A and B are shown apart, each in its own frame.
Chain A
Amino acid sequence: MKKLSALLLCLLLAFGLPLASLRAAHAEGEFRTDIYHFNDFEGVVTQDEADRIDDLVYDFIEKYGVDLPVFIASDTGDEDPFDAMERIYYGNQLGYGSDSDGVALLVLTDSDEIYIDGYGERGEDLLELMQDSSAMEAASRKIYDSFAGGDYYEAMKAYVKAAAEAADRLPALADYTPAEGYSQDPVGSKPSWWPSSTKSFTEFHDYSAPRLVDDADMFTPAEEKEILQHLQQLTQETGRDLVIFTDTSTHGMSARDYAIAFHRYCGYGFGDDYSGSVLFICMDPADRQWTTQATGEIEHYYDYDTINKIDDMIFDDMKASNYKDAMLTYVDSVSYMYQNGELPKPDHRKEIAAGTTGAGIFSGIIAAIGRVFGMKSKMKNINLATDAGRYVSSDLALDYRNDRFLYRSTSRTKIPKNTGGGGGGHSGHSSYSSGHSSHSGGRSYSGGGRHF
């Protein structure tokens, strides 16, 4: 009875909460930057169980086009659990579709609490159905049993199953088809490099494949040559693989999956783990973006911070269509990172020089004007006297003094709420994702990107 009340209380809390606002933020505290769709920070399940749950979640995503991230942590520190969940959700570009649809589950092992929230229209609709479902009630019971030593793996399976059952009852999700654009396969005509059969595809290395494939015609032949030189130099100096790929479309796939597919199906990567990275630039006029995806032994370089810093380095040039400069900066920075373990510090000398010059001129003018006017004010000291303060022989003596209270007036002003602003993927913040994609063939990719 006690547990049922707690369960109902939790569900009540989840139902009563307002919509999460879009905020892009870096993860803190318990929430690390290597965010997958199933995130077990407490190690309550084994790695094998985690992989299987991850696959279940991915199958859910593929079928219904809605994200279902799970976080298991000890606590959220001083931060409100719903705020923390929202921050991680949007900060790591979780969710699918233009509305970042999804339902997120947070399990706190220290306080034995669960939190669940919906994002985007489809996510909220799904959450509403889940809360009404007996399957969800059963899943919640299993999670609570897990707190007391039960089986987290079974609880998670029950949770995903409950979500699927609710999704089946939601037409928008149940009728989800790849034609809506969230498919993991190309829509319409396939790119030339797409294998005739993905099912019978065999992994291979193609060391002679060009490391710059400019299907979007972003670069002139001379620029291509220069970029290729830098790419070759990177490989020679670091022994790592980097390929730059541009296209005018993602053929209905996510940029991430398109990049991963390209990397895999074209035989890029070194060694048994096909270690390497791909920078994919989509020049679709309606949705220009780039993404970096890395796999193998270099995958650990590409955490959220690194992705953000690299994207910051090239954002201004990309925005200004200085694509060659952006690519050279990108390649050289990645090469530096491989050799030194971290990205080069950004060179702000131009900005400092411009700022210093401007500040110097402005300050100099203000100081000069101030000094000259100060000197000028000393040149005239004639004023008509308006007071006789120095001639007071007997200061004011009051013979009557009264302060009479008249009335009180009160005003009330509503304090504006911070409705948040910005969104993931906009300038200033990169998206980030990590984990397997349906075409990764067992490989794990980490990376992120930005729209421009």
Chain B
Amino acid sequence: MALREYKCPNCGAPLPFNADLQVLKCENCGSEFEIGALEALELADEQGDSEKLDWGGYYPDSSGYDRLENTVVYNCVSCGAVIETDENTVATQCPYCNNNVVMTERVAAGLKPDAILPFRFNNKGLQERIRDFQKDKKLLPKSFFAESMLSKVQGMYVPFWLYNADVEGFMTMDAVRSQSYRSGDYQVTDTDHFLLERSGSMRFSDVPVDASSKMDNDLMDSVEPYDLKDLRPFDMSYLSGFVADRYDISPEDERKRAENRMLNTARGRFRGTSGAYSGVNVRASDLRTRNVTVRYVMLPVYLLNCSFNGKKYRFAINGQTGKIVGELPTSRERMWHYGLTTFFCVAGAIAALGFLSFLF
């Protein structure tokens, strides 16, 4: 398997992708390289001196891997450490020397992503966002988001399918319109009954569904939205410094999830065309998706796994917008504190009003 390390051509230090600058930046000498620049350099070197392509540590798929169930083992080309990944990992870091590694052949093995959405901020920006996130979480235990936890944040490119489709069909609805009036000693209500018929179509673009079974669907759904206008043509350079997985759920298998979202929205839009009636019920509908196309993209997510009081918590942070999603623990002491404070404030205010009424 072809392993690609990104090293600074000037000093040889690791060369991760810098999300703030959107370039590959050497953490040692500060050199910055645009995406594609390294490949161009290498190509030039290849033409000059092919011996510089050091693919040491390359192990083809058929040998050199110890497959333990779904895991794959390889040797880090930098320090020789033995590293296990699963068969879908396409980029990772050596846990011993932090060397950034991209498994290029794996990238090409299934489907090369059509596009990638680069990370927009790095760890520092992440810390600020987490601090902001905590601000209005008054019930959060003080020690939960300790600084030490932030070092455990893992930036990861998550594989997604983006679905485009037309939804068309028809819907019939029962509608009523009522009016009441008084006639002598009677209250009279006239109810007119209608049958509403609607037919039409609409189009959806880039409905995202995560393509990795390792990611919780609700977590990935909640981390939306992404501004997909920032999608770039895929380049492996973007993966450097981050963990990345390739898809392990096919677009056919995920199509149902995307279709359900589209059909729900379409049903609501059809129903919204009913007009001014006092009551509307859907009688029948036949809505279908057509012209479904799908793109394979990598979207940036920071993941944070932590334990607190014996319970595991997982958070996802949108690598583009910084939106943080997850379930936070609740501090019982703080619940009581805020509850009692509110109780005494409100009860006290009303008691004060009552006292004032004595005076006046």
Binds A, one of B2-10, B49-57, B146-154, B333-341: B333-341
* Interface size in chain A (residues, C-beta < 8 A): 58
Q: In the complex, which of the residues A355, A376, A383, A405 contacts B222, with contact meaning CB atoms closer than 8 Å?
A: A383
A409 touches B202 (CB 8 A): no
CB nearest neighbor in A for B208: A391
CB distance from A165 to the nearest CB of B (A): 39
B170 touches A400 (CB 8 A): yes
Report the interface size class on chain B.
35 or more
Summarize B's interface: helix, strand, loop or mixed. mixed
Binds A, one of B89-97, B110-118, B300-308, B348-356: B348-356
**Given that A379-B328, A407-B193 are known contacts, is A360 also in contact with B203, CB under 8 Å in the complex?**
no
Q: In the complex, which of the residues B194, B258, B326, B354 contacts A360, with contact meaning CB atoms closer than 8 Å?
A: B354
B275 touches A403 (CB 8 A): yes
| Proximity string of chain B (249-291) to chain A, C-beta cutoff 8 Å, 1 when within and 0 when not | 0000000001011101110111001010000000000000000
**Given that A367-B343, A390-B225 are known contacts, is A396 also in contact with B354, CB under 8 Å in the complex?**
no
- The answer to whether the Cβ of A320 comes within 8 Å of any Cβ in the partner chain is no
A401 touches B327 (CB 8 A): no
- The answer to whether the Cβ of B192 comes within 8 Å of any Cβ in the partner chain is yes
B204 touches A392 (CB 8 A): yes
CB distance from B268 to the nearest CB of A (A): 7
Interface residues of B in 206-249 (CB under 8 A from A): 206-207, 216-219, 221-222, 224-225
- The answer to whether the Cβ of A222 comes within 8 Å of any Cβ in the partner chain is no
CB distance from A410 to the nearest CB of B (A): 5
- The answer to whether the Cβ of A371 comes within 8 Å of any Cβ in the partner chain is yes
CB distance from B325 to the nearest CB of A (A): 5
B343 touches A365 (CB 8 A): yes
CB nearest neighbor in B for A407: B193
B339 touches A415 (CB 8 A): no
A395 touches B261 (CB 8 A): no
- The answer to whether the Cβ of A192 comes within 8 Å of any Cβ in the partner chain is no
The CA-CA distance from A376 to B261 in the complex, in Å, is: 28
The CA-CA distance from A382 to B187 in the complex, in Å, is: 49
CB nearest neighbor in B for A397: B200
The CA-CA distance from A294 to B196 in the complex, in Å, is: 77
A391 touches B269 (CB 8 A): no
Chain A residues in 8 Å Cβ range of B84: none
B346 touches A367 (CB 8 A): yes
**Residue of A357, A379, A405 with most partner-chain B CB within 10 A:** A379
The CA-CA distance from A388 to B355 in the complex, in Å, is: 55
**Given that A382-B218, A387-B268, A410-B190 are known contacts, is A397 also in contact with B201, CB under 8 Å in the complex?**
yes
Ordered by A's residue number, 6 sampled pairs between the chains whose C-beta atoms are within 8 Å are A360-B348, A369-B339, A371-B338, A412-B187, A412-B188, A415-B182
* B-to-A contact residues, CB < 8 Å: 136-140, 164, 170, 175, 182-183, 185-207, 216-219, 221-222, 224-225, 258, 260-262, 264-266, 268-270, 273, 275, 325-330, 335, 338-340, 342-351, 353-355, 357-358
For the complex of A and B, 3 pairs with smallest distance between CB atoms: A356-B354, A364-B347, A360-B350
- With A400-B198, A410-B191 given, can you name 5 additional A-B contacts, CB distance below 8 Å? A368-B343, A382-B326, A387-B261, A388-B204, A397-B202
